[in-house]
Amino acid sequence: MTAIELVVLDMAGTTVLDDGIVEQAFQRAAERTGLAERMPWDEALNYVRDTMGMSKIEVFTHLSGGDADAAHAATAAFEDAYAEIVAEQGVAEIPGAAASIAELRDAGIQVALTTGFAPVTRDALIDALGWRDLVDIVLSPVDAGRGRPAPDLVLTALLRTGASSVQAVAVAGDTRSDVLSGRRAGVGLVAGVLSGAHDRATLSEAGADVVLDDVTHLPAALTQRVRDGAVLTPGV
């Protein structure tokens, strides 16, 4: 069994406390750009929840009925709205996330943060949390080619950090898209976490090897993986 050299972590809902900010930003963007008038908001919100973790431009492309100009305008409005809400409410880590990341790095494991946010929003969050020196790399879809559930973010993290193989990578996230991205990349361990958008059944169905209460349990899960000599049973 290949030892884990790189852990790829999602941001909102996995390492960064969401507290409904993403949904609020989607609603503000939809209202400001007129997308809210194209379909019932309840229907749109369900789609937003189902696709949490995906690239925001892809979500807005669907909500706009494939109208590329409208999708780009709504994505820009989303980024503005998210920044506004963060300024109003502040931003916080999932309790214990930074300490868990530090624990992984102290063990010689590189850590990448990935997100569906544009770099401007991603970087604002990193700076607000003071995480510039906490992780090895941070990536958005524009850095990789495609957003989740494609494997591009995970594979780009592998290439940029120099991990020896996909089996030496672990992925953790709170959404179905996070899990699918890890599965499609062929990584050694995919962990779902229950601190964000999706529940245990959804994460297990998507193919999570293990479902954890939150990211603070990941170091122990990696230790258990080594102890057992095999990837954990799906859905445990």
Upper half-sphere CA count for residue 100 (Cβ side, 13 Å): 21
The residues spanned by each domain of the chain are 6-17+92-228, 21-89
6-17+92-228 maps to which CATH number? 3.40.50.1000
Q: What is the CA radius of gyration of the chain?
A: 17
Look at residue 1 in the predicted model and tell me its pLDDT.
Answer: 59
Instruction: Tell me the torsion sign for CA atoms 95, 99, 102, 103.
Output: negative
pLDDT tens for 157-188 read: 999 999 999 999 999 999 999 999 999 999 99
Parallel, antiparallel, or unpaired: how do β-strands 110-114 and 137-139 relate?
parallel
pLDDT tens for 105-141 read: 999 999 999 998 888 888 888 988 999 999 999 999 9
Q: What does the block give as tokens for 57?
A: 């431009």
Give the confidence band of 17 by pLDDT, cuts at 50, 70, 90: confident
The answer to whether the beta carbons of residues 216 and 97 sit under 8 Å apart is yes
The answer to whether the beta carbons of residues 216 and 199 sit under 8 Å apart is no
Computed over every residue of the chain, the mean pLDDT equals: 87
Q: Is the pLDDT of residue 225 over 80?
A: no
DSSP-derived 3-state class of residue 118: coil
Look at residue 128 in the predicted model and tell me its pLDDT.
Answer: 86
Q: What is the pTM of this model?
A: 0.83
- Nearest-CA neighbor of 111 among 139, 151, 91, 78? 139
Element (H, E) at 153: helix 152-161
